[in-house]
Structure 1
Amino acid sequence: MDASIFSQLVSQISVGKHLPDAIYLHKDAFSALPTALSQFIPAVAKAVNLADDEWNLVKLFKKEFRLSLLHYPEFCSDSYPALKQSLNIDLIRLSHKLTRYQESDNPPILHRKETMILPEHKHYQEFVILTQEGENAGLYENSRLIGFKRSWENLIARHGYELVDGRLFRCSAIQPIEDAGIDRHKTAIVRHELSAPMKTLVKHGYLEGQYSVFDYGCGRGDDLRELEAHGLDVLGWDPNFQPDNDKVHSDIINIGFVLNVIEDQDERLDALLGAWELSDKLLVVAVMLANESYIAQFTPYKDGVITSRNTFQKYYAQSEIKAYIERSLQEDVITVAPGIFYIFKDKLEEQRYLQSKYKRHHQWQQLTSPEPVGAKDKAKLLITQNQTLFNSFWNTCLDLGRIPANDEFTNSDQVRNLIGSHRKVFNLLQEMYNTAEFRQAEKSRKEDLLLYFAIGLFEKRKPYTQQPEPLKRDIKALFSDYKTAINLATELLFAIADSNLINQQCEKAHQLLPASLLNQGHSLIFHKDYLDELPLLLRVYVGAGLQIYGELDENIDLIKIHTTSGKLTLTAYDNFDQPVPYLVERIKIKMAEQDIDFFDYINEQRRPPLLNKHLYMLRQHPKFKQQLSFDKRLAKLMGYEYKIETQMQRTEFEILLDKHNKQIKGFLLATKH
């Protein structure tokens, strides 16, 4: 089984406890799984030598080729059973990691057990009653806190209940929570340079503008001011200094020196889980470290100390905090520096980071010896001495995605006189230039040709002998022969009818292309300028639709790929450069029926406004920040969410503007006079 088949099978599962990124399922419910998957999971357990009695639940990841085999020995007998051990298996890396919890005083626990079994299970109704008890007691209002044993028990007590034989009973009295009068606000120090975790982000290239950043517990905001001065998209929140700010999803969440100043362990865990929940790509955790002799000078309090400033500090050992994060998030933690850790939610980003981290960076050395010791050295010296000429040759290779023929490079005679054949020159340049750049060019050219051949299948195909000479060279270099190219193109064209595959590719495209809007399970919307940035299958999908419509002319602005219905929608606006353009025309292409519906908005008063236009712009766009700021202000004024597709009739839009006595002037919401 490969990652694609695994993903397809997991997407078919209708039973189990479904979370955004994973499905939890008990062994007893495997009969409801696709047969291939129900056989695959035990086979994986056997492959990693995990005995059948050492796991009874599986966690299947929706977006990764990964699963976890979990052991809850008291699943049936304990109302909220504790996790004994978890074996996380990465099926891409072919690696696995075992985490044991039997010695933990705060292990993960299970809730809503009825969702993990089938309705015909003998304990199903019993589990339903347990869940209903918790719902009625208000225990599920903050789901982040309920996943760990001690936190769950404390939550039960705070709500005035106690567990008796696994059932909830109202306590006769509620014990007050201890209050030591901690001055938390005094823990926020004034900085005159970036904090240590932010400096690591600079070092690893994460603060160059392509990622949004949120500082969870930003203190007095010194990091925010510095990063904003560099034009970065950065926001923050702090319970003492900026409590009214929203906590927003961002690519990178930094929770720096926050966990160690929270004296309540449940609140500390809630902060960590809350920060992780907001993170789209990367969570950065930083804490204070100290040894026992340093800690001994302070007054002990709970699991930390009271400092001389009457602040609480929980000083950690490096291994202690790393283990705490891994237990709490059940994710791999990467140590970046003492007390600083990265946890990647985006596993592709994690691989990019690790590859960069362990890659050797070579410095170009100046060639000072006039007498090379061998023929290859002499050739390389000639290349260095004729840098402009060979740069031109290399750029031609990148343009073609292959080695040029003699008549495809203007200065071929000069190159061959100095070094030899084009192949010999290319092999030498591969040792001196960035070959990844060429591999990408080769891949791009191959994809472009497959797109060309796939769309060409709609028409009568020309035989190989009638193809232009450069195209014949492309076919030979990139596919070996014409038949292989056509077979691949045919498979690609047939694949656009697979709605599950189209849906997966739309999710992938949305990750690759920030200037897009993904309506999960329904559609992907993007500006036509970014069509070439899509995965190949989606380019073929759009190309097939345009076969019915015609060329994508300059009037079209946005393209919508319908992920399940085999449709393509093109939209044109009156002036897309305006902060709120109005819809002029909508074209819906129904590929299955080979038909097109046209919707004209000739009457200006019927033209719907395009709201939240920043969703279709790259962050590097010169007007992106203006548009984002405008969209946020307009959304707040009118009471809708600025991060999602929002539809509104023009009359409703203008009524709301009038209600607030506002008018749009450029990127300003001006007061009417």
Structure 2
Amino acid sequence: MQETWNSDRRRTAISRNTLSVPARQALADRQLIPARTILDYGCGRGGDVKSLERLDCRITGWDPYYSPQTPLAPSDVVLLTYVLNVIEDAADRRQTLKRAWELATTVLIVSARLTWEKSKVRGQEFGDGLLTSRQTFQHLFGSSELRNYVEEVTGARCVSAAPGIVYAFKDDAARLGYLAHRIVPDAEWLASGDTTSAIASLVDYVERRGRPPRVEEVPHPMAEQFAHLKPGELRRLIRDSSDTEKVTAAGKRTTLSTLLFLAVELFNGRGPFSSLPFSVQLDVRSFFSSYKEACQRSDRLLLKIRDDTYIRGAMHASAVGKLTQTALYVHHRAIDQMPTVLRLYEHCASIAAGRPHDWTVAKLKHQGRAVSWLDYPEFGSDPHPRIASSYLVDLRTLETSHISYTDSTNRPLLHRKHEFLAPDDPDVPKYERLTQAELRAGLYERPHLIGTENGWETELIRCGRELRGHRLVRRVAD
């Protein structure tokens, strides 16, 4: 079959020395692994192909201008990276997506530039996009528009991995395996070189999962070390060596994580028990009387997201995060310690519209059901970090919005950093000492002024103070 593709689009291909954002996301999500064959469909100059080859991935790249000689064959994973947005003909755009979907046997990974990048693209309106001064075309997608478009063309239930990055899976097993990895990550096994260390690794697994593993879950070399032990002996070793309190606590965590997974699965379309990842099936059998009971409990959990009173109660009960009159703000290090219904709230937003790659604090609104991911890149080093960007998804409409503060001369900043973290976070004492010093100095007496850079600097001058790292000192006279 002869591929149709306007050759002028070659001008949009850029040279890459590092992996593109979509490829990095797919690597982090374990979609690009050495066991899978990968096709970069519309690879441009081949930067991702070269980088992934260095990571031992089995990848080929096809491009109508730079690599037209590459034979096209079905592959486990097909990358369609920033291709759809450069096609000016709507029918051609659709056909390209359909062809990429036909070539994918496990997952199609589609990425496109988004509407919030409009300020970076200068050009005249042309069709459903812009014609640039270089005579190239750009159709900028809305985040929800991209997901809806891929779903409509492929007929598959899609997941937004990040803003502008959509995964379309060929079957439910692959999709659910991905969701499970996001919500109930596979347990990491401790290294073991002999039977003693293998047993220690097994006990560690039980203390973190709350149940013993099936032999299919145990790494093969480790399973061989247990071959001489009878099942009863192995159970006795685990029972005698493990900490009962840790196992009980782990069981509660796994129960809640399983409910969270099943609720998110319903949000995105729930399948039969047999479609669940094997480890999740075992969790259901271990911690619930039946799959039906687990689904009923997760359904009740999902319904609670709509209840303003329940959500506010969960926010007040949360041991982590800063609660304001409008929202709960939680640092990414503490996000998994929120009550399960709030974790579900944030996960639903991330599955619908994609959690951005760079974010520091999640903001969950009391009412209206909207989640914002706020990026404070200097949170650890700056005593009052400045915001770099905000990405919001409204769960009622699935509409998204993005704000960049890169060019702002008076950015919002944070105070009382310890309140965003879990109480046992190692940085809390240092941040709390600074907050107490600022309170004593009178810096919080005018809260309406201190939320931005200029107002905060004015208050520092008024109080005769300045900051040296996370210490507040008296201001040196000019």
Length-normalised TM-score, structure 2: 0.52
The letter for the 2-side match of 1:517 is: K
- C-alpha deviation, 1:660, in angstroms: 4.4
C-alpha distance in structure 1 between counterparts of 2:235 and 2:356, whole Å: 38
Tell me which residue corresponds to 1:627: 431
Which letter maps to 1:564?
Q
> Does the 8 Å contact 1:610/1:647 carry over to 2?
no
Contact 1:611 1:645 in 2 (8 A): no
1:411: Cα distance to partner?
A: 4.2
Q: 1:657, 1:393 → 2: CA distance?
A: 55
Instruction: Confirm or deny that 1:417 pairs with 2:417.
Output: no
Q: For residue 614 of structure 1, give the secondary structure of its aligned residue in structure 2.
A: helix
Q: 1:598 aligns with which of 366, 389, 402?
A: 402
1:509 is aligned, of 318, 339, 349, to 318
* Two-structure CA RMSD over aligned residues (Å): 3.2
Distance 2:425 2:448 in 1: 20
CA distance in 1, matches of 2:313, 2:369: 14
- Maintained 8 Å contact 1:607/1:650: yes
Matches within 5 A, 1:348-387: none
Which of 613, 621, 635 in structure 1 is aligned with 2:417? 613
> Contact 2:443/2:459 (CA < 8 Å) preserved in 1?
no
Identify which of 308, 329, 333 aligns with 1:525.
Answer: 329
The alignment status of 1:671 with 2:476, answered yes or no, reads yes
Query: Where does structure 1 lack aligned partners over 5 or more consecutive residues?
Result: 1-385
Please tell me the residue identity of whatever aligns with 1:557: T
Mapped to 2, the partners of 1:399 and 1:499 lie a distance apart of 33
| Match in the other structure for 2:370 | 567
Contact kept in structure 2, 1:476 and 1:482, CA below 8 Å: yes
Quote the offset at 1:469 in angstroms. 3.1
Distance 2:332 2:426 in 1: 18
> Per the alignment, do residues 412 and 609 of structure 1 end up closer, same or farther by CA in structure 2, a change over 3 Å counting?
closer
* SS of alignment partner, residue 417 of structure 1: coil
1:416 Cα offset (Å): 5.8
2:204 maps to which residue? 395
Higher relative contact order (CA closer than 8 Å, sequence separation 6+): 2
- Residue of structure 1 equivalent to 2:254: 445
- Counterpart code for 2:206: C
**Residue from 248, 259, 279 that aligns with 1:470:** 279
Match of 2:151 in 1: none
Distance 2:217 2:451 in 1: 54
Can you list the C-alpha shifts for 1:237-256, whole angstroms capped at 9, x where unaligned? Answer: xxxxxxxxxxxxxxxxxxxx
C-alpha displacement of 1:480: 4.4
The answer on whether the counterparts of 2:331 and 2:360 sit within 8 Å (CA) in structure 1 is yes
| One-letter amino acid matched to 2:384 | V
Unaligned 5+ segments in structure 2 are 1-194
Which digits, 9 at most, give the CA deviation of each residue in 1:326-349, with x for residues without a partner?
xxxxxxxxxxxxxxxxxxxxxxxx
TM-score, length of structure 1 as denominator length: 0.38
CA gap 1:440/1:652 in 2 versus in 1, 3 angstroms: same
Structure 1 CA distance, aligned partners of 2:421 and 2:476? 27
Q: Decide whether the 8 Å contact of 1:608 with 1:648 is kept in 2.
A: yes
**Matched AA of 2:438:** L
Does 2:461 correspond to 1:652? no
Deviation at 1:574, TM superposition (A): 4.4
- What is the CA distance between 1:539 and its match in structure 2? 0.6
Asked whether the 8 Å contact 2:449–2:455 carries over to 1, the reply is no
- Deviation string 1:287-313 (CA, Å, 9 cap, x unpaired) is xxxxxxxxxxxxxxxxxxxxxxxxxxx
Cα separation, 2, equivalents of 1:408 and 1:658: 61
Q: Structure 1 residues 417, 576: CA separation in 2 closer, same or farther (over 3 Å shift)?
A: same
Computing the radius of gyration from Cα coordinates, the structure with the larger value is: 1
Alignment-derived partner of residue 388 in structure 2? 584
- Secondary structure class of the residue paired with 1:568: strand
SS of 1:671's equivalent in the other structure is coil
* Amino acid in structure 1 at the alignment position of 2:476: T
Matched, 1:482 2:291: yes
Return closer, same or farther for 1:646/1:397 CA change in 2, 3 Å cut-off: farther
SS in 2 for 1:586: strand
Identical-residue share of aligned pairs (%)? 20
Matched residue count? 280
Shift of 1:558: 1.3
- With over 3 angstroms needed to count, the CA separation of the structure-2 counterparts of 1:453 and 1:607, relative to structure 1, is same
Aligned-partner residue type, residue 323 of structure 2: L
What does the per-residue CA deviation read over 1:42-97, in whole Å, with 9 as the maximum and x for residues that have no partner?
Answer: xxxxxxxxxxxxxxxxxxxxxxxxxxxxxxxxxxxxxxxxxxxxxxxxxxxxxxxx
Tell me which residue corresponds to 2:350. Answer: 546
In the aligned structure 2, how far is the partner of 1:656 from the partner of 1:597? 32
Counterpart position of 1:460: 269
